[in-house]
Amino acid sequence: MKMVAQNRRARFDFEITETLEAGVMLTGQEVKSCRMGQVNLAGAYVSFLGGKPILKSVKIAPYKFATVSDYDPERDRPLLLNTRESQKLASVASEKGMSILPLEVHAGRFIKVLLGIGRGRKKLDKRHKIKEREMGRKIREGGEY
């Protein structure tokens, strides 16, 4: 499967504890646009409406050859999960401080979304992560730390 979009900011802002793959219910022009890599996951999240998981704030650009003019690129898109996975996500989402975010979008025969279950990082944790990354970079380059 080819990765067409990635939410790099989510891995920085959240401590991802578990990942899960889910399908997404899309229209024909959205599928074609996804295959072309016209997906933006910045600020996207998963919420529940009537017990069903819904992907919110994912921007899929309109397909440039489409004839349909009334298209909303930020519409809510239902996720396709089995009942057990859906119930597990609902219980995680109800916990305080836990979030469900889309991390990557893959396009193969089907369009799949890699969901991450995680807890938000505090500013101090983010600074610590940046410091570790810089120290690792200096060590790899052979410099002093």
Q: Which CATH number fits the domain 2-120, given the four candidates 3.20.20.60, 2.40.280.10, 3.40.50.10260, 3.20.20.70? A: 2.40.280.10
Whole-model pTM?
0.83
pLDDT of residue 143: 66
Based on the number of CB atoms within 10 Å of its own CB, is 79 exposed (0-12), middle (13-18) or buried (19 or more)? buried
Three-state DSSP at 52 gives strand
Residue 61 one-letter amino acid: A
Structure tokens at 66: 């489409």
- Of the two residues 135 and 125, the one the predictor is more confident about is 135
Q: What does the pLDDT average to over 60-84?
A: 90
